[in-house]
Amino acid sequence: MHQLTLTQIARGLADKAFSAEELTRTLLGRIAEHDAQLNSFITVTEDQALEQARRADQRRAAGETGVLLGAPIAHKDLFCTRGVLTTCGSKILHNFVSPYDATVVAKLAEAGAVSLGKLNMDEFAMGSANESSHYGSVKNPWDRTRVPGGSSGGSAAAVAARLIPAATGTDTGGSIRQPAALTGLTGIKPTYGRVSRWGMIAYASSLDQGGPLARTAEDCALMLGAMAGFDPKDSTSVDQPVDDYLATLNKPLTGLRIGLPKEYFGEGLDGAIAEKVLAVVEELKKLGATIKDISLPNMQHAIPAYYVIAPAEASSNLSRFDGVRFGYRCENPADLTDLYKRSRAEGFGDEVKRRIMVGTYALSAGYYDAYYLKAQRIRRLIKNDFVEAFTEVDLILGPTTPNLAWKLGEKNADPVSAYLEDIYTITANLAGIPGLSMPAGFVDGLPVGVQLLAPYFQEARLLNVAHQYQQVTDWHTRAPAGF
């Protein structure tokens, strides 16, 4: 059963080929057997999962037919989950048990999904390798000496290793798409405002967006259909109807215009990955798409703009973690100032401290205009590049990452080299547009991902193209050895 996709599981549950409880027990057994090799889970909620599975079976017996009813998933550990430890991968939240459910958690629970636990992640979603977690690094199931990508590395590793069929993730600068690419999965970052951020512990509020990771575009469509929608509790949520993502999966690609930005194929891109990207282009041409060369001239400024804006917002968002109200508190503080200083110094990891310091500096008197305001202006230029490009093409295609998954610890001494791994994904967050990564082959036994970008609220178009590509290729069906 663990080899079944989410879509196949939905069909099997509907046909009574197995029960939700049988499936849940099977996957809980796999987590117990295999996760010590991967470290993808922070918390496994066995008792709660079995109770949810029994309720799902009862609801089906009473005549309910929801596609996710009884389907097992797990949540990235920054979605607040009532009665369950929610840590954000940080020591500072090592003892925080959420008193409420995030909207995404509530929506999936209402659809009948069974949550098996909370997944490991870079601390407060800050990282590209899932090496900054207080709970240890996550290993890539394709090669356990390598990173799975981040910050949703636990989600990606667990799905790739067939411990669960799908998981939630979040994407601030590529943190769904990049780990999807490095572990051979499909992952989609929706348009900013498409999925509620309420109860999703913030890293950078104007960039964060939740979305699914799964093995196929069809599975992502199932998940996103349940996750998306307006939420009055989230001031950044957009009040716009949710498309039926499943309804257009089989739409032909005839006449689809796909843009290839020249900036994607310059210095820094692994030549073997470039070949895989161009092979995808050829397959899409066979399916009826037309290809056009385009330019995104301000892409070169994306990394510096992002690493001013995101840390600035993080420095503000993380100021609430002070040892007073919840989370980690230092022992025997001398006074209130000592409590603040030592609780934060002892509770946050090195990468989080680095970004808080950068962000605080960028927002400080005398530097706001020079750094933060200028970065926001560059952000608008990047957005304008996409708006203009989408007058010429329907989608933009390119590599998801410039390199293959790297060795654990390889980039720890040079954080900037890790930041550069997000060069192709960051622009979608700065502009707020949707993006998807899909499997496109292997190089030296490691997965390669190709990224698709679309205009605002065109997630259905991304899923349609990825699904059509997956009907004529089998990269998405490959499993890592031993899992």
8 A C-beta contact, residue 104 and residue 124: no
For residues 124 and 201, give the distance between their C-alpha atoms in angstroms, rounded to a whole number.
8
For residues 184 and 180, give the distance between their C-alpha atoms in angstroms, rounded to a whole number.
6
For the residues of 133-157, what is the DSSP string, one character each? -TT-PPPBTTBTTB---SSSHHHHH
Residue 157 tokens, joined: 């590793």
Q: φ, ψ for residue 32 (rounded to 5)? A: -65, -35
Identify any residues that bridge with 438 across adjacent strands, giving them in sequence order. 450
CA distance from start to end of the chain? 12
Beta-carbon contacts of 190 under 8 Å, excluding residues fewer than 6 positions away, are: 209, 210, 211, 224, 228, 434, 459
Identify any residues that bridge with 261 across adjacent strands, giving them in sequence order. 294
For residues 321 and 341, give the distance between their C-alpha atoms in angstroms, rounded to a whole number.
11
Residue for token digits 């000592």?
338
For residues 270 and 423, give the distance between their C-alpha atoms in angstroms, rounded to a whole number.
13
8 A C-beta contact, residue 449 and residue 470: no
Q: Please choose, from the candidates 459, 465, 7, 10, the residue with its C-alpha nearest in 3D space to the C-alpha of residue 245.
A: 459
β-strand pairing of 446-453 with 210-214: unpaired
Question: How many degrees, rounded to 5, is the angle at CA 409 between CA 404 and CA 415?
Answer: 80
Which residues are tagged catalytic? 76, 151, 175
For the residues of 201-267, what is the DSSP string, one character each? --SSTTT--EEEEESSHHHHHHHHHHHBS--TT-TT----PPP-TTTTTT---TT-EEEEEGGGGST
Determine the distance from the C-alpha atom of residue 258 to the mean position of all C-alpha atoms in its chain, rounded to a whole number: 24
Residue 287 tokens, joined: 């399916």
Residue 291 tokens, joined: 């290809």
For the beta carbon of residue 316, count every other beta carbon within 10 angstroms. Answer: 16
